[in-house]
Amino acid sequence: MRKSLVLAVAAMSTAGIAALVPTAANAGTTVNVNLSGGALSVTEPSTAATLSGSAAAGTVLTQSLGSSTVTDNRGTLAGWTVTAKTSGDLANAGNTHTISLGTTIAGGPLNMATGAVTANGTSLLTGVGAGAGGSLNPSAAITVATGASLAGGGSYSYNPTLTFTVPPNTFADNYSTVVTQTVS
C-alpha cells in the first residue's frame, strides 16, 4: 500500500508539473511576398547637343550628349543592351548640304563614347557596363551600355561624349540628325 501511495503521489506530481509547463506553439505563419514586374526603358536627354567650330577639314569638335538613364524593373534579370544610331546623315535645313555618316560602326565622322556608367539608388553595378561605342550612322547601331543576364535590375545613368571630325570638302553650314537610343 505504501508503494502504491508513493507512486500515486509521484504520478500526480508529474502531471501537475506537466500542466504548468507550456506546450509548443503553432508551427508558424506563412508570409507570402508577391512581386510584379515593371518596364525596361531608356530616358534620353531632352535638349539638343550642339557641336560648334571651324569647317576646316580635320577639325575635331567634342560635346556631351547629356545624361541618359536605363531602367530595368521587369524583375526577370534577363539582361539588356542599349544601342544608338542616327535618323540619317547630317543635313542642313534645306537638305542641300549633307555629310555622310557612313554605314558601319567604325570610321565615320560622328562618334559616341559612353563613358562611365553609374548605379542609381540601390542598384548594383555588378554585370553592368559601358558599351564599345563607335561611329554613329543610320545603318548600324552601336552598343552604348549593357546589363548582363542575372544582373542589371534597377536604374543606371551615363553621359555619352560626341566627337565630330570635319571631313574634307565640307560646306560651312548648320547640320543636324537625330540620335536615338533603344534598349532591349
> Residue type for 132, please?
A
For residues 158 and 183, the answer to whether their CB atoms sit within 8 Å is: no
Percent of the chain with pLDDT over 70: 86
* Residue 175 placed within a domain: yes
* Residue 3 placed within a domain: no
- Bigger pLDDT: 25 or 67? 67
* Residue 21 placed within a domain: no
Q: In the chain, what are the helix, strand and coil shares in percent, each to the nearest 5?
A: 10, 35, 55
Q: How many domains does the chain have?
A: 1
Percent of the chain with pLDDT over 90: 85
Range 46-65 average pLDDT: 97
User: Residues 6 or more apart from 2 whose CB is under 8 A from it?
Assistant: none
User: Residues 6 or more apart from 27 whose CB is under 8 A from it?
Assistant: none
Which residues face 120 on adjacent strands?
Answer: 155
Range 150-179 average pLDDT: 97
Q: Domain range for residue 105?
A: 40-183
Is the pLDDT at 13 greater than 80? The verdict is no
* Residue 123 placed within a domain: yes
* Residue 18 placed within a domain: no
* Residue 2 placed within a domain: no
**Confidence band for 22, pLDDT divided at 50, 70 and 90:** low
- Read off the pLDDT of residues 68-87 as tens digits, 9 standing for 90 and up: 999 999 999 999 999 999 99
Name the CA dihedral angle for 20, 22, 23, 26, rounded to a multiple of 10 degrees.
150
* Residue 112 placed within a domain: yes
What's the CA gap between 58 and 43, in Å, rounded? 33
> How many alpha carbons fall within 13 Å on the CB side of residue 3?
0
Position 27 scores a pLDDT of 85
Whose CA is closest to 90, among 32, 27, 136, 42? 136
* Residue 80 placed within a domain: yes
Position 23 scores a pLDDT of 62
Range 97-112 average pLDDT: 95
Range 31-46 average pLDDT: 95
For residues 128 and 119, the answer to whether their CB atoms sit within 8 Å is: yes
46: left (phi over 0), alpha (psi -120 to 50) or beta: alpha
Position 6 scores a pLDDT of 46
What's the CA gap between 11 and 85, in Å, rounded? 88
How much is the pTM?
Answer: 0.83
Position 5 scores a pLDDT of 44
Q: What is the mean pLDDT of the chain?
A: 90
Range 98-117 average pLDDT: 95
